[in-house]
């Protein structure tokens, strides 16, 4: 059975409509990706990721500490511990390291008998975090400590974002 | 085929099958990986929740035979409907070790996401 083809058929119209819809959708999508909202979201993502990477390092350091001397119980703005040295030996007792929340900043410090040094913490420069509010170290149990603080994102997209890490003290 | 007659049910099912075959890998990809432009923040929060869950699991004395535990909502993540669970089981090959597995899950089928973390612990505490 042979049909005489006259003009545009229904299938062709449908196909054309589908392609048109896809192309409009794609262009809307690319505009969306380029928008300031999306850029702000990406900046926020980078910021949160950076804070979390600092927290990862802090957690690793505290988790592997040989002795966590402060806070012994309850909560404190400071946390002091004796780290392990490279050869699985203890540092001298007079040498202590720690993290302190001070004036919305988180510092890494090392205490020696004669001085308190504000040195680098691994790849992070002091203060290792800026603008962290209500920062606290909370000793939840003998082998568990929690870090908690709030931060505002630098571009103002998010306020009072909570960061909370629970650390298992492995050398308890 | 005659013009004007519609497809049979079998053919429709066949199309559905082919479409599913093509799309399923993408759905699986979605379920394991964050698409950074859509879901990055959720993913980050979930991964932090997962780490916290694992640390809590490591803190408590090992309780055996809590394999196949149920997913329970995680406190503080109610807005994501984040569920988490911890499985502790004897290591399949090494008798002296336990396998600790923490898992978080959010979203609903088929756009569901899972993250898991495993840790091997020595079986010194019993």
Question: Which of A48, A162, A164 lies at the smallest CB-CB distance from B44?
Answer: A48
A99 in a domain, yes or no? Answer: yes
Considering the domain boundaries, does residue A88 fall inside one?
Answer: yes
Chain A: nearest CA to B49, how far in angstroms?
Answer: 8
Q: Is residue A108 part of a domain?
A: yes
Share of chain B above pLDDT 70, in %: 83
Domain count, chain A: 1
Q: Is residue B2 part of a domain?
A: no
Q: Contact at 8 Å (CB) between A80 and A96?
A: yes
Residue A75 structural domain? 39-168
- Answer yes or no: pTM beyond 0.80: no
B55 domain-assigned:
yes
- Residue A41 and residue A157 in contact, taking contact as beta carbons nearer than 8 Å: yes
- C-alpha dihedral sign at A115, A121, A124, A127: negative
Q: Which residues form the domain of B20?
A: 9-122
**Whether B52 and A166 lie within 8 Å, measured CB to CB:** yes
Here the tokens at position A80 are 């002091």
B74: burial class by Cβ within 10 Å (0-12, 13-18, 19+)? Answer: buried
Q: What percent of chain A is predicted at pLDDT more than 90?
A: 33
Is A28 inside a domain boundary? Answer: no
pLDDT tens digit sequence for A82-137: 887 777 777 777 788 899 999 999 999 988 888 888 888 888 888 899 989 999 99
Whether residue A142 lies inside any domain: the answer is yes
Establish if B4 belongs to a structural domain. Answer: no
Please give the Cα distance from B12 to B110 (Å, whole number).
22
Residues with Cβ within 8 Å of residue B65, at least 6 apart in sequence: B88, B89
Checking ipTM against 0.85, whether it exceeds it is: no
Q: A-chain residues within 8 Å CB-CB of B37? A: 33, 38, 41-42
Q: Establish if B1 belongs to a structural domain.
A: no
The total domain count for chain B is 1
Q: How many interface pairs between A and B have CB atoms less than 8 angstroms apart?
A: 48
């Amino acid at each position: 059975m042979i049909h005489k083809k006259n003009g545009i058929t229904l299938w062709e119209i449908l196909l054309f409509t589908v392609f048109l819809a896809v192309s409009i959708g794609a262009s809307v999508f690319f505009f969306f990706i380029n928008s300031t909202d999306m850029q702000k979201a990406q900046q926020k993502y980078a910021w949160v990721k950076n804070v979390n990477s600092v927290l990862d390092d802090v957690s690793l350091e505290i988790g592997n500490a040989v002795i966590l001397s402060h806070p012994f119980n309850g909560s404190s703005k400071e946390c002091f511990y004796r780290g392990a040295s490279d050869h699985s030996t203890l540092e001298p007792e007079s040498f202590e390291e720690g993290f302190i929340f001070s004036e919305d900043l988180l510092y890494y410090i090392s205490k020696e008998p004669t001085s308190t040094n504000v040195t680098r913490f691994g790849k992070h420069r002091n203060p290792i975090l800026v603008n962290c509010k209500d920062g606290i170290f909370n000793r939840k149990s003998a082998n568990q400590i929690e870090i908690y603080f709030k931060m505002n994102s630098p571009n103002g997209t998010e306020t009072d974002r909570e960061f909370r890490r629970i650390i298992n003290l492995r050398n308890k | 085929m005659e013009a004007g007659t519609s497809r049979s049910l079998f053919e429709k099912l066949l199309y559905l099958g082919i479409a599913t075959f093509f799309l399923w890998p993408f759905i699986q990809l979605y379920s394991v990986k964050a698409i950074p432009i859509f879901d990055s923040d959720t993913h980050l929060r979930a991964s932090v929740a997962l780490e916290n869950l694992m640390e809590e699991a490591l803190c408590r004395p090992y309780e055996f035979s809590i394999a196949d535990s149920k997913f329970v909502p995680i406190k503080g993540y109610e807005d994501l409907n984040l569920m988490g669970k911890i499985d502790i089981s004897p290591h399949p090959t090494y008798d002296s070790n336990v396998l600790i597995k923490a898992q978080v899950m959010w979203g609903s089928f088929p756009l569901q996401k899972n993250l898991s973390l495993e840790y091997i612990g020595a079986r010194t505490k019993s």
